[in-house]
Structure 1
Amino acid sequence: MAIPQEIIKTKRNGQVLSRAEIQQFVQGLTDDSFSDSQAAALAMAIYLNGMTVPETVALTLAMRDSGKVLNWQGKLNGPVVDKHSTGGVGDKVTLMLAPMVAACGAYMPSIAGRGLGHTGGTVDKLEAIPGYSCTQSLSRIQQLLPDLGCVIVGQSSELAPADRRLYGIRDVTATVESIPLITASILSKKLSEGLDALVMDVKVGNGAIMATANDAQALAQSIVNTATGAGVATRALITDMNQILGTTAGNALEVVETLDYLTGKYREPRLHQLTLELGANMLLLGKLYQDKASAIAALEHSLSSGKAAEIFAKMVAALGGPTDLLEKPDNYLAKASVVKAITAPQSGILHFNNTIGLGMAVVRLGGGRSHPAQQIDPAVGFSQILAAGSAVEAGQVIAQVHAATAEQAEHAIAEYLAACSFADSALTPLIHQQIGA
């Protein structure tokens, strides 16, 4: 068995680590036989020299196997599928998609995350629903999924513990952006769900972690290659994040938009298109449908029949939330003390040149965290967001801000307008590229 510094030296010199060396490193993360400084040194060596696909597969599987792995063998009568987004502003797709694919015969045990930086977290959105508990044991997830069809919860301490330690080290050593380490971090958690198929939504643009097409392609290809190498059918879509997704950004506001979407009150066209595209690919990879048109028709029917809304309501109640959320959302979801209109300062064609800035504006309103232990305000954010490409007149309302104080609202309005431009320019397509089988 190699000692830690020999493994570090191998990667420092740009050489390929063996499967045994990678397994030893991951074991060292879980039993502390690698110190923080040694783990940081190896993370930096990987950041600088990269990893081959077999190395990344080995790292992902070792991190997955550092904890428990869900096994659905013989317990379900359909495929186990999930989707994962690299994060954006206003991305509430998981909340809509989980009950939709469940209504179509798939099972979705989604282990979701909290907000990170400028991106909102699925767990934070769900916790805006009073009583909803994202903290569930694996045995509880295994008990609920066969009946509900979908369960959205937070990461359990039982899943991929090596990833938690390595991520904490990466976060303070400037190695977060390493594509092999991002890939292993995402997939070690997702593959622990016992999936048959995975669809990745890799965001690109001025509201995404991956700002350029080349970076997004590299990450998407790495995830597809690694997950496929680990035996899970995987497809990645590279999708646009040059504007907020949907009409809301902020936790309770996004839950309201989700409910409006599921019940048919309003479905923002761009958000609807992306949800159908991701869902259709999940159903195709899960081998429930043979062509995209029939998969999309099934997803549309899950909405029009009310079945997806019914499944969402059932999941909310089973995880501790109110039983009548769909019927009486105003009774449960927090509302901000101050709501102010944001108006266009001039006429023109609306575009967003700093969507990350809008995400950070939500954080500064209290809707996200600047440190991990911070409590968030579920009521704050933006609503009635006008889409990029809209023709506006000076003085027209382009969004509303929801804030705790008038002063915070004014700051947020200034940040919102600073992120906008009103000159005509080309819109970027919603779906840039598909990678994988």
Structure 2
Amino acid sequence: MILKPALASCTLIATLIATLLSLPAAADASFERCLGELRSEAQTRGIKLETFDALTRTLEPDGSVLGLLDYQPEFRTPIWDYLAGLVDDERIADGHAMTEKWAATLQQIETQYGVDRATIVAVWGVESDFGRNFGKRPLLTSLSTLSCFGRRQSFFRGEFFTTLKIIENGDVDAARLTGSWAGAFGHTQFMPSTFARVAVDFDGDGRRDLVDSIPDALASTANFLAKAGWVSGQPWGHEIKLPGDFDFSLAGRHNKRSIAEWVRLGVRRIDGVPLEASTAPAAVLLPAGEGGPTFLVQRNFDALYSYNTAETYALAIAHLSDRLRGGGAFVRPWPTDDPGLSRAERREVQALLVRLGYAVGEIDGLIGKTSREAIQDVQKANGLEPDGRAGRYMLEVLRRLAGTAAGGDS
């Protein structure tokens, strides 16, 4: 789970980062003073001073996390790029394999919490790629930095103290607590406060461990969704077709009407299957505006939204869960002539950049800063808009250029 951004001054954030990176002595002094304040507060939070001292003795601030406070791909990445990388053939195949491998555990979880296995596995796949990517940032470093610098210090202090408590309770060892810049960790990426509230010991070993216990992680996810209002046996929603005279002012996740009312207004499932004209509340969602796929979303979509408050994120989980049940791609295409790339295609982009002489680091399908800068350089050299985006058109450009380069080397 990643934090939803709020409006903030980019200038202020940049200044803070510069202070931390260019004035280490001043930053260290300020950080030490802040740790002293945190130490005093730790006692009021029920944390032993010996625990605090042992876990903070070698901490140093990490200024790079401040630059991430206002960056979240769910809100900055075109939805066709975002979904193409999260719901691809690889993740679907891996999801089927994990569903089969953990079938007995998932059956027990379904029975106890009422959340279906496809949804649980979809969250797992999107959040950590089935345990392959927990995030590499030590939680105590990130959260202590965010507790002392930047905005929302009060929030992050709460997460920092909760992390100390998780370690003190023996649920997860400090060395195993690495995760996102904001503090999310484990197979299904809980924030520490979420862990404290809903994590469960499903394997019965006396510890709530989202890092080294897959049963604990999957059951904790189901418990989260159940507490968020998940309705067992109800779909998250459907792709729909709107009538030609539809009033688009009625759209929006908060503009709920009964499904029977939507049917009366001419809303239909795009696959031709009749909508059940029930009293269940639902809303029309247009994630790419009037020109893209349209959805009728129900209560379970809201539960997914609460996991990471972004509609694009909830749609990714919902769509992947449908694919794991045997469903197909969305019927209506996204409104773009330059579709997003799967992870395999993104790895190809990186490999082609390397062939052209760019050092982009690990070829992992994650288009980060180095890869984007390399793409921008190629775009500038070829008279293209230097937006750094790895889309279908850019992949074709790189294929042509790398082919030309290979031919010139022969």
Regarding TM over 0.5, the answer is: no
When you count helix as a share of all residues, which structure comes out higher? 2
Question: Between Structure 1 and Structure 2, whose CA radius of gyration is higher?
Answer: 2
Structure scoring higher RCO (CA < 8 A, sep ≥ 6) equals: 1
Q: Which has the higher strand share?
A: 1
Q: TM-score, normalised by structure 2?
A: 0.24
